[in-house]
Amino acid sequence: MLISWVLVSLLLFSLGIYGVLTRRSAVGLLISVELMLNAAALNLVVFNRFLFASRMDGQILTIFVIALAAAEVLIGMAILVMLFRRKKSVDVTQLSQLKH
């Protein structure tokens, strides 16, 4: 049923949120973000299949999402590598220079 699929993707998304808020390592953060993106893409395809079975817009959008996820991971890694070179660690709890 539609609702069970949507709930599954919602659950995956929430797990991704938990990961984002909890991880100390920046790479772990990015992994959790990937999880969230994957859940969103799943949602798109689900709605496409259940409600608009004659069109393929959902899947096309999913292709875009996947492409964007790849781009984002790339840039994220590049920044993390730079950060690691500077501070010798990627612990996000150390990055609090904007503290009041």
Partner 1 sequence: MIFYLLTFVILVLALATVLTRHIFRSAIYLMGVLALSAGYYLLLGAEFLAGVQILVYVGGIVVLIVFAVMLTQSQDLIHDHPSRLRKMLGFLTSATFFGVSAWALLNSHLNKNIEMPSDAQFSAQIMGKAFLSTEGNGYILPFELISILLLTVLISGIVLAKKEKV
Partner 2 sequence: MHMILNSPWIIPALPLLSFIIVGLFIRPLSPKIAAVVATLSVGCSFLLSLTLAWLFFTGPNPSQLSIPWSFEWLRFQPGLNIQMGFLLDPISAMMLVVVTSVSFLVHLYSMGYMHDDPGYGRFFTYLNLFTFSMLGLVISPNIFQMYVFWELVGVSSFLLIGFYYEKPSAVAASKKAFIVTRFADLGFLVGILLLGFLGYQVQQKLGSSDSLIAGLQSLDFQFLTHPTVLSELSNTGFLAIALVLIYIGAAGKSAMFPLHIWLPDAMEGPTPVSALIHAATMVVAGVYLVARMFPAFSTAPSALEVVSWIGLFTSAFAAIIACTQDDIKRVLAFSTLSQLGYMMFSLGVANLEHPLGYTASMFHLFTHAFFKALLFLGAGAVIHAVHTNDVWDMGGLRKKMPITHATFLIAVLAIAGVWPLAGFFSKDEILTAALEGGHYVHFIGGLAVAGLTAFYMARIYFLTFWGKGRTKATDHAHEAPFVMLLPLLILSVLSISAGWIPFAQYIHPLVQSAQEHSGHHGLNWTVVLSGSSMAAIGLLMSWFLYAQNDFNRVNNWISNFQGLYQVIKKKFYFDEIYLFITHKIIFRLIAGPIAWFDRHAVDGSVNLTGDAVQKSSSIITLIQTGQLQTYGVWFVLGTAVTLIFFWMTLL
Residues near partner 2 (CB under 8 A) are 17, 20-23, 29, 92-93, 95-100
Query: Nearest distance from residue 21's CB to partner 2, in Å?
Result: 5
Which residues have C-beta within 8 Å of that of residue 35, sequence separation ≥ 6? 12, 15, 16, 19
Contact set for partner 1, span 35-64 (CB under 8 A)? 35, 38, 42, 45-46, 49-51, 53-57, 59-60, 62-64
Query: Nearest distance from residue 99's CB to partner 1, in Å?
Result: 16
| Number of other CB atoms surrounding residue 73 within 10 Å | 15
Phi, psi (degrees; rounded to nearest 5) at 96: -120, 40
